[in-house]
Amino acid sequence: MPDDVHVSADELVSRTILRKDLVPDTAAFLDTKIPGSETKINYPLIGPGVSENGEQVVPVDVPHGFNLGGAVMPAGTINNLHLHYTAEVFFCFGGEWTFRWGVGGADGEATVRDGDVISIPTWIFRGFTSETDDAWLYTALGRDESGGLIWEPSVIARAAETGMFLSADHRIVEVEPGTTPEGVELVTPLTPAELDALRKVPPAEMRERLTQPGDLRWRSDALLDAELPGGGAELALVIGYGLTEHREQAPRLADPHGFSIAWLRAAPGHGMLTHRIDESQVLLVKSGRWRVTLNREDPVTAVLGPFDVLSIPVGAWRRIEAVEGDDARLLVMTGGDGRVRLDWDSEVVADARAKNVALDANGYRAPAHLI
């Protein structure tokens, strides 16, 4: 763990992404002129993602070990079939979506609703359609450089009819419909043999990769500060072991993604007391209002509402507190594939010990008198 990391007020502002300040990108991908896809709106948030628009503006470009973006699509809008090399996870914050996967979207469909999280396996085609006008997804990609994407050949062909082509370095090349670019090396569509070699994912397997609110297993004793005033947040793991300090808590998905995902909820006045971690971390507010205070000396504070996002620097001291809402919850995204070891403020450690709670040598909660 580095020495104390001090976050200035300016840096906090630069890492706070408020919903009201989001800048839409309507030309992020090859398919944005295909009929049925023209109303796609993408929001770059953290990292370059896989956008094929060389002019996109990224609010936070500091490497996190992952990328984060958003997608808003009116009812009936289609995001066409493509595949990724690294993990892709969708957090549904609004509306209803139909996901489909496999060549031609023929391997299965799943309905994704508000509060669901779905992780799509790498190296399979996936696409989705919004079913409601309030449909909103956050999209996370593993690794800082995710390698771009591969479009299904039929998408490349339909995009070409609209004058949209993709260069070999994953940049959009636009020409008049009915013409082709000159002097540009274009991507080569996958061959039938390459398509046949892609694995098939049955619907039962994809259901295991879809975490609905009813699938969550909340623990009120997941963290060291569970019994302390101002602590007491509940934690539900989705992907990876992440922050949990309870030896019996396990995630729904444990395969490597490059990040962990968990839900955190708390009553007003409760949350997580002062701590720091040696990994990048991003908070996405689903409901309620939250106050995040950074630094032990000269603290700076951000107050976040629904759909707001905050990136917290590696090693920065932080306190996370719900301040409003009967069901205040946020999604916590933390870099890395392993467990995260929290470094709690010494006062938190002492107060927990006074309640006969401490962390054992493996970093899990245990009776203090046995340690």
356 and 332 in a common domain: yes
- Output the DSSP codes for 332-358: EEEESSS----EE-HHHHHHHHHTTEE
312 and 235 in a common domain: yes
Listed residues 211, 227, 252: the one ending a domain = 211
Q: Do the domain assignments include residue 3? A: no
Calculate mean pLDDT across residues 95-100: 98
Calculate mean pLDDT across residues 8-16: 97
Q: What is the rounded distance in angstroms from the CA atom of residue 203 to the CA atom of residue 18?
A: 36
* Neighbour-count burial for 346-366, b at 16+ CB within 10 Å, e otherwise: eebbebbeeeebbbeeeebbb
Q: Do the domain assignments include residue 18? A: no
pTM of the model as a whole: 0.94
**Does residue 2 carry a pLDDT above 60?**
no
What one-letter code names the amino acid at 337? Answer: D
Q: Do the domain assignments include residue 63? A: no
- Residue spans of alpha helices (H) in 2-73: 9-14
230 and 358 in a common domain: yes
165 and 48 in a common domain: yes
How would residue 4 be classed by pLDDT, with cut points 50, 70 and 90? confident
Closest by CA to 97, choosing from 121, 62, 124, 73, is 73
Token pair for 138: 């956050």
279 and 176 in a common domain: no
Residue pair 340/196 in contact (Cβ under 8 Å)? The answer is: no
Give backbone dihedrals phi and psi of 244, rounded to 5 degrees, phi first. -60, 140
Instruction: Check residue 59 and report its DSSP letter.
Output: S
Q: Do the domain assignments include residue 16? A: no
- Burial (CB count within 10 angstroms: exposed 0-12, middle 13-18, buried 19+), residue 298: exposed
**Does residue 285 carry a pLDDT above 90?**
yes
Residue pair 85/122 in contact (Cβ under 8 Å)? The answer is: yes
How would residue 82 be classed by pLDDT, with cut points 50, 70 and 90? very high
Calculate mean pLDDT across residues 20-42: 88
Confidence (pLDDT) at 218? 98
Calculate mean pLDDT across residues 92-119: 98
133 and 151 in a common domain: yes
Calculate mean pLDDT across residues 107-132: 98
Calculate mean pLDDT across residues 189-216: 98
Q: Do the domain assignments include residue 225? A: yes
**Does residue 148 carry a pLDDT above 90?**
no
**Does residue 365 carry a pLDDT above 90?**
yes
Calculate mean pLDDT across residues 180-194: 94
pLDDT digits (tens, 9 = 90+) for 151-169: 999 999 999 999 999 998 8
193 and 167 in a common domain: yes
Structural domain count of the chain = 2
Confidence (pLDDT) at 337? 95
Calculate mean pLDDT across residues 124-132: 97
Whichever domain contains 105, its CATH number is 2.60.120.10
200 and 220 in a common domain: no
Confidence (pLDDT) at 348? 98
245 and 146 in a common domain: no
139 and 227 in a common domain: no
- The whole-chain average pLDDT of the chain stands at 95
Percent of the chain with pLDDT over 90: 89
Beta bridge partners of 172: 166
Confidence (pLDDT) at 149? 92
88 and 111 in a common domain: yes
**Does residue 63 carry a pLDDT above 80?**
yes
pLDDT digits (tens, 9 = 90+) for 233-272: 999 999 999 999 999 999 999 999 999 999 999 999 999 9
- What's the angle, vertex CA 92, arms to CA 242 and CA 333, rounded to 5? 20
Q: What is the rounded distance in angstroms from the CA atom of residue 337 to the CA atom of residue 259?
A: 6
How would residue 1 be classed by pLDDT, with cut points 50, 70 and 90? low
Q: Do the domain assignments include residue 13? A: no
Q: What is the rounded distance in angstroms from the CA atom of residue 238 to the CA atom of residue 223?
A: 16
Confidence (pLDDT) at 91? 98
Calculate mean pLDDT across residues 163-181: 91
Confidence (pLDDT) at 52? 63
Q: What is the rounded distance in angstroms from the CA atom of residue 40 to the CA atom of residue 30?
A: 11
Q: Do the domain assignments include residue 321? A: yes
Confidence (pLDDT) at 59? 86
How would residue 25 be classed by pLDDT, with cut points 50, 70 and 90? confident
Token pair for 306: 């629904």
Confidence (pLDDT) at 147? 87
Q: Starting at the earlier edge strand, list the strands of the sheet with 96-101.
A: 108-113, 96-101, 126-130, 78-84, 149-151
Listed residues 163, 185, 211: the one ending a domain = 211
Listed residues 181, 211, 241: the one ending a domain = 211
Q: Do the domain assignments include residue 35? A: yes
Backbone torsion region of residue 150, taken as left when φ is above 0, otherwise alpha when ψ lies between -120 and 50, otherwise beta? beta
232 and 339 in a common domain: yes
Residue 322 is part of which domain span?
A: 216-370
Token pair for 190: 């996958």
